[in-house]
Structure 1
Amino acid sequence: MLLLDEITLEQKDFITSDGLFYFSLLNQLRGKGFYSLDEVTILSNMNEDVIERYESCGGWDSIQHQIDIINEKNFDTYIDILYRENIILHMHEDGFNLLKKIDVNGKEISPLSMFRKMDAESVTDWYEARISSYGTGYSSKIIEEEEIDFDDEFINNCQEGLENGVPFDIAGYDINGEEMNCFQFLSRQVNGLLEGTLTMMGGYSSTGKSTWWVTVIMALLYRDRKVLIISNEENVKKFKIKFMVWLLGKRNRYFKLTKKKLMSGDLNAEDRKQLSSVQDYWRKNYKGRVKFISLADANMSTVKKKARENILRYGYDTILYDTFKLDFDSAGSTRQDLSLIKDSRELDSLCKKYNVIGLASLQLAINTIGKLFLDSSVLSNSKQIKEVLEGLYLMRNVYDEELDPDNKKYYCKPFKLKKVNDKWIQEEYVCDRNAVWRMVFPDKTRSGANSSDNGIAYLLKFSGDHCIFREVAQCYPKHGYIQ
């Protein structure tokens, strides 16, 4: 019965009266908190009409018979078949001729017999591909066609910044009326996040990739986006805690309650008061605009299915997928490399099709740990992922040697930008070597220079206890490796 929590079946999905009855029966019992099924549970919790129908259908013997002949390990397949058959029925109701034979790769075959060999998503994908192949007299690859001229409308659009993406510079204002800074310089450098594109943050395990996205998401929520998080890494409780401690620190300026303390439940009266304040703020400003889906494994078919459903049905316009994984030796499985490239292209295609902002985390190949200047080579055999991305940021830990001015071999020369006479100049910055630091390399950007162009990376001060990144300075990391 717990499998009911993993699906989005509704009563309208069942065409037979018996199917509808048993689904409704199970759904009601699961809604009351029951985890398993037995006859006493049914008879003790259903009304007389339901019990009468239950008995007329054969009572417990009918249910026991199903339990004996069905393997719950095949649940995903059973559900997919149900969805597929319902898609076929809807096509028939909409007037599609599923029995008329068509030519498919030189063979005459009826759509119905072909669909029965596919999964549900493949059926809809096939029809979409079929329709796009009909042609309209022009290439389907043509997106824009216009004679070049600098008219007033174009100039006005430039002035209004309509070609910019959605900024992730600030997330509103704290209780003192000051800006809650996110990544102001980085956002300005890349011109924000553009709809219809996919941007990735790549980092090694435990560098804080998911936490980095929490900061970005808070900035996007301030810009009225609706964000769908799909994760095969962490559960919803961990994400809730990250959002909560971020708001406690950034909005309430309250740092006594850490992530660890919140998870352990060691809360005093002041902590509860602050949590209630954050709870009220979230419900007033963001409730209904962030949804979380947890996946057991990295299945792109499921990711696309859930993303499409929430985009079309609920209006989500930003998708975060956490995480693509590259945690294997670079000389290892080429098939896994190709799978990651294929999955990234499918996710990018979905973002373009539905014009949403796509975000994703990428776990870098562990055999490249120690490389000081990060570029696409840390993607190992999957460097082609970069081709489909609008933005690629790479993050690693900062080594103490890089913050030591006396270490000429590794010192990264931190600096802050300061505006003097309307010009930005670099002012030397001394980093606190007792703090925790991360270094971010913009390896691919739509506008502005990449790290490979100017040799510059961002230094972020990281407070893992409060899930906060602070964009403190920039630097010139060395090339090479460190042990």
Structure 2
Amino acid sequence: MKSLDDYPKELTENRDIVEGSFIFCLWKNPDLYADFDRELRADRDLLTEDGRFYYSLGREMYEKGYKSFDDASIYSYVEGKDILKNGFSRRGGYKSVDEMKKILNEENVETYFDELMKSNAILALHDDGYNVIKYLDKFKKMNYSQLEDFVEYKLNNIFFKTSLNGTTIDDLSTGYDKWIDEWDKGKGIGFKVGFPMLNYHLAGIHRRNLILHLAGIGQGKTTSALITYILPILESGESVCIIANEQGQEEFRQMMLATVLFNKVKYFKMNRQKLLFGGFTDEDKIALKQASAWLEQYKNKLHYVHLNDYDISNVKRIIKKYSKLNVGAYLFDTLKPRDDSSDKAWADFSEVSKELFLLAQKEDVAVIATAQLASNAAGRKFLDLSCIGKSRAIAETAGQVIMFRPLRENEKEKLEVYSFEKGTKIKKIHSLDKDKDYIVLFVPKNRYGKAGDLQIVYERNMDFNTMKELGYCHIDFDGF
């Protein structure tokens, strides 16, 4: 980062206040350093000498275990460190710090950080030769995300102008010969799904589409999404990005390796729990390395990003970035409101799904989002869009909605599950074992094929992350 003197005064006006407001929120609550440690570097992101000094001093104290930056703590820390002590005294000592801390509310730290990042982005645009002073009054009214969208909009206007801004006009009465040739090649089918029956009815997972994958709490949404979508899409040669806001990298690595171990290597002498407890045999290690080698063949095609919050702007930024790197499919795990007790949060949640759909359209990618069924759906046998509860509106823009639940004990005895002999309409009945675990999958919405009364039964084993497609069934509607 350059210094203040390297920029026009208009661009650095109030820069000391911008930096000070953010930094002294951290001083007021030192635990906040952990939240921004990966986001900010003093030498890169701070312009003022005072900003770099106070941020770095506070970070050192936080790393040494100081939980409160009071008068005694600060002077205790700088004692014997002449450069630090003189620098602190020269800047007014604790009195200056205390005055700033008194007028700041650390609950606004995200806003102060956003303002700092926006200021840095404006300076970076200036460094790249953009006439940012022309738009400075407009920029002052924006947050960081709005600035990013504005700049992208201006660039798109330059390079991607159409006859009407943001629209494409065509004549649907002509030009079908080209499309018939394309469709004849199967171009109307999306990314392959891992099960033939489901893949046939969905016609694959399509670009420019939002797919919702829903189940109850702890019923295997993420694992089933890996088996159903992610591994088959990888095998098709497409790159995938997993965006997670709940389970961390280690959990996803274990889940991914276990899924490959049992579904691709076909090794069953250890189960998923053994990955957690350890004590691998030599044979286990060989099989695990085979699973690792299977994944290694897709190097640079399977990306993972962990989110520390539920801010949709971060999700949008990630998808925009990776779509430029030719990543065509995304798993967002999990789509949920910030506060499930707030009606406003549920309304915002619905807007998030719309933004994801529009982003999938804009970036020409497929977005698969896992989400949770409403708690009152636990008693339902027939799953439909009403089972999403307050968040039903999230399905409005989705092109495909898939839901599943476990089969109940009495259903294992009474339910008729059938498939068809290949190339015929002759039914093949599948008997269910009362000691095995089954799920029934519903497709209440599908823009590319059958929906509503489509139900498919799968045998699954959560110990081995496996699912086997058995056949169709019919469950009567029990909603209201």
The question of a shared fold, defined as TM-score above 0.5 by the shorter chain, is answered with: yes
CA deviation digits over 1:415-454, x for unaligned, max 9? Answer: 12212xx33432221112211111111111222211x2xx
Of 173, 182, 190 in structure 2, the residue corresponding to residue 165 of structure 1 is 190
- In terms of mean alpha carbon deviation, does 84-93 or 248-257 score higher? 84-93
Deviation at 1:9, TM superposition (A): 6.6
* Aligned mates of 2:285, 2:294 — CA distance in 1: 14
Alignment of 1:381-400 (within 5 A): 381-400=390-409
CA deviation digits over 1:262-293, x for unaligned, max 9? Answer: 1112322221221122222222x122222222
Deviation at 1:323, TM superposition (A): 1.3
**3-state SS, counterpart of residue 346 of structure 1:** helix
CA contact (8 A) 2:339 2:345 kept: no
CA contact (8 A) 1:376 1:383 kept: yes
**3-state SS, counterpart of residue 212 of structure 1:** helix
Unaligned runs of 5+ in 1: 39-53, 101-110, 169-181, 406-410
**3-state SS, counterpart of residue 120 of structure 2:** helix
CA contact (8 A) 2:382 2:477 kept: yes
Of 276, 280, 287 in structure 2, the residue corresponding to residue 267 of structure 1 is 280
Of 177, 191, 199 in structure 1, the residue corresponding to residue 203 of structure 2 is 191
**3-state SS, counterpart of residue 441 of structure 1:** strand
CA contact (8 A) 1:11 1:24 kept: no
- In terms of mean alpha carbon deviation, does 111-120 or 471-480 score higher? 111-120
* Aligned mates of 1:268, 1:376 — CA distance in 2: 47
CA deviation digits over 1:175-212, x for unaligned, max 9? Answer: xxxxxxx2121112111111111111011111111111
**3-state SS, counterpart of residue 335 of structure 2:** strand
* Aligned mates of 2:395, 2:164 — CA distance in 1: 29
Of 297, 300, 303 in structure 2, the residue corresponding to residue 288 of structure 1 is 300
2:328 aligned partner: 317
CA contact (8 A) 1:371 1:480 kept: yes
Specify whether residues 295 and 149 from structure 1 end up closer, same or farther in structure 2 by C-alpha distance, changes over 3 A only.
closer
**3-state SS, counterpart of residue 421 of structure 2:** strand
1:124 aligned partner: 148
2:63 aligned partner: 36
TM-score normalised over the length of structure 2: 0.76
Specify whether residues 242 and 8 from structure 1 end up closer, same or farther in structure 2 by C-alpha distance, changes over 3 A only.
farther
1:81 aligned partner: 115
2:346 aligned partner: 337
* Aligned mates of 1:242, 1:25 — CA distance in 2: 41
Of 281, 299, 316 in structure 1, the residue corresponding to residue 311 of structure 2 is 299
CA contact (8 A) 1:209 1:361 kept: yes
2:166 aligned partner: 140
Alignment of 1:419-458 (within 5 A): 419=422, 422-450=423-451, 452=452, 455-458=453-456
CA deviation digits over 1:16-45, x for unaligned, max 9? Answer: 789899999999x9xxxx99259xxxxxxx
**One-letter amino acid of the structure 2 residue matched with residue 428 of structure 1:** I
Of 464, 473, 480 in structure 2, the residue corresponding to residue 475 of structure 1 is 473
Deviation at 1:10, TM superposition (A): 10
Specify whether residues 155 and 203 from structure 1 end up closer, same or farther in structure 2 by C-alpha distance, changes over 3 A only.
same
* Aligned mates of 1:226, 1:88 — CA distance in 2: 32
Specify whether residues 92 and 445 from structure 1 end up closer, same or farther in structure 2 by C-alpha distance, changes over 3 A only.
same
Q: Could you say what the CA RMSD is over the residues aligned between the two structures, in angstroms?
A: 3.7
**One-letter amino acid of the structure 2 residue matched with residue 36 of structure 1:** E
Deviation at 1:144, TM superposition (A): 4.0
Specify whether residues 377 and 117 from structure 1 end up closer, same or farther in structure 2 by C-alpha distance, changes over 3 A only.
same
Specify whether residues 155 and 133 from structure 1 end up closer, same or farther in structure 2 by C-alpha distance, changes over 3 A only.
closer
1:156 aligned partner: 181
Unaligned runs of 5+ in 2: 1-32, 66-80
CA contact (8 A) 2:402 2:443 kept: yes
Query: Greater helix percent: which structure?
Result: 2
* Aligned mates of 1:60, 1:274 — CA distance in 2: 59
Of 361, 372, 384 in structure 2, the residue corresponding to residue 352 of structure 1 is 361
* Aligned mates of 2:273, 2:39 — CA distance in 1: 32
Alignment of 1:106-117 (within 5 A): 111-117=135-141
Of 458, 461, 464 in structure 2, the residue corresponding to residue 463 of structure 1 is 461
CA deviation digits over 1:100-126, x for unaligned, max 9? Answer: 5xxxxxxxxxx4234234321111224
**One-letter amino acid of the structure 1 residue matched with residue 394 of structure 2:** I
Specify whether residues 404 and 348 from structure 1 end up closer, same or farther in structure 2 by C-alpha distance, changes over 3 A only.
same
Specify whether residues 20 and 401 from structure 1 end up closer, same or farther in structure 2 by C-alpha distance, changes over 3 A only.
same
* Aligned mates of 2:391, 2:97 — CA distance in 1: 44
Specify whether residues 22 and 61 from structure 1 end up closer, same or farther in structure 2 by C-alpha distance, changes over 3 A only.
closer
**3-state SS, counterpart of residue 367 of structure 1:** helix
* Aligned mates of 2:185, 2:82 — CA distance in 1: 69
**One-letter amino acid of the structure 1 residue matched with residue 378 of structure 2:** I
CA contact (8 A) 2:333 2:371 kept: yes
CA contact (8 A) 2:377 2:383 kept: no
* Aligned mates of 1:124, 1:183 — CA distance in 2: 40
Specify whether residues 404 and 351 from structure 1 end up closer, same or farther in structure 2 by C-alpha distance, changes over 3 A only.
same
Deviation at 1:239, TM superposition (A): 1.3
**3-state SS, counterpart of residue 384 of structure 1:** helix
1:248 aligned partner: 261
Deviation at 1:363, TM superposition (A): 0.6
Alignment of 1:189-228 (within 5 A): 189-215=201-227, 216-228=229-241
1:371 aligned partner: 380
**3-state SS, counterpart of residue 427 of structure 2:** strand
Specify whether residues 143 and 403 from structure 1 end up closer, same or farther in structure 2 by C-alpha distance, changes over 3 A only.
farther
* Aligned mates of 2:280, 2:242 — CA distance in 1: 28
Identical-residue share of aligned pairs (%):
26
* Aligned mates of 2:264, 2:42 — CA distance in 1: 40
Specify whether residues 326 and 364 from structure 1 end up closer, same or farther in structure 2 by C-alpha distance, changes over 3 A only.
farther
* Aligned mates of 2:169, 2:50 — CA distance in 1: 49
- In terms of mean alpha carbon deviation, does 206-215 or 270-279 score higher? 270-279
* Aligned mates of 1:348, 1:292 — CA distance in 2: 20
Deviation at 1:167, TM superposition (A): 1.0
CA deviation digits over 1:381-415, x for unaligned, max 9? Answer: 3322222111110111111111213xxxxx3x211
